[in-house]
Amino acid sequence: MATWRDFLPIYRLEKRCFRSDAWPWIDVLAALIFPETVRYVAEVDEEIVGFIVGDRRRQKDLGWVATLAVAPAFRRRGIARCLLQECEAGLGTSRMRLSLRESNRGAYDLYLKAGYAEVDRWQRYYRNREDAIVMEKNRPTP
């Protein structure tokens, strides 16, 4: 599980991968501290090349993928798929949700393959007024 000690490389990776959509530093730090979040990193040669943050709405038995990013040089190796599985297992909720830009076809395919389906749209959600697609997955829990 990532901690506040991983803040700097995660913050840099978030900025690099999301540019104008990147979280402000305070949100990244909060995600690494809050007890209701799970956060995992992928490391290659001790360098953080990917990370995921998930949070939990306990009363609704619902988990959200809050952010997921992999460094460009390490993409298409299954790192995001692996981080997503860890996040789902770490949250342990029977439902998972996430949102993404409708133009983000790569991420859409990743989630589709992982068993997510489109359930909602948030009109003009992003800064440039692009819609968000909301995807959901039901997970069998013991």
Ligand X SMILES: CC(C)(COP(=O)(O)OP(=O)(O)OC[C@H]1O[C@@H](n2cnc3c(N)ncnc32)[C@H](O)[C@@H]1OP(=O)(O)O)[C@@H](O)C(=O)NCCC(=O)NCCS
CA 60, CA 130: separation in Å to the nearest integer?
A: 28
Shortest distance, CB of residue 14 to ligand X, whole angstroms? 9
- Please give the angle made by the CA atoms of 96, 93 and 141, to the nearest 5 degrees: 115
Q: Which residue's CB is nearer to ligand X, number 41 or number 141?
A: 41
Percentages helix, strand, coil for the chain (3-state, rounded to 5) are 40, 35, 25
Contact in structure between 54 and 64 (CB atoms under 8 Å): yes
Q: Is 78 in the site for ligand X (CB under 6 A)?
A: yes
In the list 66, 69, 132, 135, the residue contacting ligand X (rule: CB under 6 A) is: 69
* Shortest distance, position 142 Cβ to ligand X, whole Å: 26
| Near ligand X by CB under 6 A: residue from 15, 81, 95, 139 | 81
- State how far the Cα of 10 lies from the Cα of 2, in Å rounded to an integer: 9
Q: Does 106 bind ligand X (CB under 6 A)?
A: yes
Where does this chain touch ligand X (CB under 6 A) — which range of 87-95, 105-113, 115-123, 124-132? 105-113
Binder of ligand X out of 80, 132, 133, 135 (CB under 6 A): 80
